[in-house]
């Protein structure tokens, strides 16, 4: 039982390049989330998927797209990377997004550097 | 807008001693949830403790306990008998109904307190 896994662990991009961050969970969770963590700031929600087949914008969705490929996998795509997207990206999952007592489990993060 | 403030960017404590991390928040809601998450050097966020606002009793989890003062909107974390493995970044978080989607809850995180436990 690996929990939440993310690939890659680290990536360097040039401005304008595209890439997809992958996330998978093996806990049979319905809800999945993408956050970014910037220095001196708490985690901010980019997009989330309350259940398979649905996705919704979070606080900072501009410049990103997501795909809930199936119940296990939730990917985050940067179509044209910008230096402002340099950050650490965390994927998380929970059994439900409509109950505050459901713990969110986080992946180990992807460190992205955009030059 | 709801905010979460952690006023101590860094703290240190001797092994086996007790340390308290502070957190204040601002909300007009009556029902909400508060959390402390730990982020060790491995970067993976781990839930430490959770408190429901409607419960007056302070939550405890082994060496971790909170002092929840609802009127003061304060939610501090006390770590007793500190261990080297407690060295990490600690985030206070507030959970509420998201405004952008009915029924969905979302976190609002503070900026974190970096705790170092000294041998």
**Per-residue pLDDT tens digits for A71-100:** 999 999 999 999 999 999 999 999 988 777
Which residue has tokens 């503070």? Answer: B110
> From the CA of B33, how many Å to the nearest CA of chain A?
7
Percentage, residues of chain A above pLDDT 90? 77
Find the mean pLDDT for residues B42-61.
89
Rounded to whole angstroms, how far apart are CA atoms A11 and A17? 12
The phi and psi torsions of B86 (rounded to 5 degrees) equal -80, -10
> From the CA of A56, how many Å to the nearest CA of chain B?
8
pLDDT at B102 over 70: no
Of B33, B42, B101, the CB nearest to A108: B42
Rounded to whole angstroms, how far apart are CA atoms A53 and B72? 41
Of B44, B47, B110, the CB nearest to A107: B44
Confidence of residue B1 (pLDDT cuts 50, 70, 90): low
Please state whether the peptide bond connecting residue B63 to the residue before it is cis, i.e. omega within 30 degrees of 0. no
Q: Are strands B113-118 and B10-14 parallel, antiparallel or unpaired?
A: parallel
How confident is the model at residue A110, as a pLDDT?
Answer: 95
Confidence of residue B56 (pLDDT cuts 50, 70, 90): confident
* Residue B2 near residue B27 (C-beta atoms within 8 A): yes
How confident is the model at residue B30, as a pLDDT?
Answer: 79
B112, closest residue in chain A (CA to CA): A42
CB contact under 8 Å between B44 and A57, yes or no, is no
pLDDT at B37 over 80: yes
Interface test with B, best of A4, A39, A42, A91 (most B CBs within 10 A): A42
How confident is the model at residue B3, as a pLDDT?
Answer: 87
Which residue, B30, B16, B33, is CA-closest to B85?
B16
pLDDT at B23 over 90: yes
The phi and psi torsions of A84 (rounded to 5 degrees) equal -65, -10
Find the mean pLDDT for residues A10-28.
96
Interface of B with A (CB under 8 A): 4, 32-33, 42-47, 50, 52, 91, 93, 95, 100-101, 103-112
| Chain mean pLDDT for chain B | 90
**Per-residue pLDDT tens digits for A40-58:** 778 899 999 989 989 999 8
Which chain A residues contact residue B101 at CB under 8 A?
A: 50, 56
A46, closest residue in chain B (CA to CA): B106
Of A40, A90, A99, the CB nearest to B45: A90
Confidence of residue B99 (pLDDT cuts 50, 70, 90): low
Q: In the 8-state DSSP scheme, what is residue A30?
A: S
């Amino acid at each position: 039982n690996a929990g939440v896994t993310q690939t890659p662990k680290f990536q360097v991009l040039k401005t304008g390049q595209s890439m997809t961050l992958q996330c998978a969970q093996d806990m049979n969770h319905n809800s999945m989330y993408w956050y970014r963590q910037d220095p001196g700031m708490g985690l901010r929600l980019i997009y989330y998927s309350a259940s398979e087949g649905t996705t919704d914008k979070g606080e900072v969705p501009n410049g990103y797209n997501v795909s809930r490929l199936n119940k296990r996998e939730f990917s985050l795509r940067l179509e044209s990377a910008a230096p402002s997207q340099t950050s650490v990206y965390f994927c998380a999952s929970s059994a439900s997004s409509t109950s505050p007592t459901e713990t969110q489990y986080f992946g180990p993060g992807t460190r992205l550097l955009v030059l | 807008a709801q905010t979460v403030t952690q006023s101590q960017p860094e703290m240190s404590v001797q092994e086996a001693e007790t340390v308290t991390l502070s957190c204040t928040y601002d909300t007009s809601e009556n029902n909400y949830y508060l959390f402390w998450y730990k982020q060790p050097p491995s970067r993976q966020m781990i839930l430490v403790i959770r408190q429901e606002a409607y419960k007056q009793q302070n939550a405890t989890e082994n060496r971790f306990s909170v002092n929840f003062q609802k009127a003061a909107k304060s939610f501090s974390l006390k770590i007793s008998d500190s261990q080297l493995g407690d060295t990490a970044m600690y985030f206070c978080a507030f959970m509420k109904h998201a405004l952008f989607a009915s029924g969905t809850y979302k976190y609002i995180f503070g900026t974190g307190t970096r705790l170092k436990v000294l041998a």
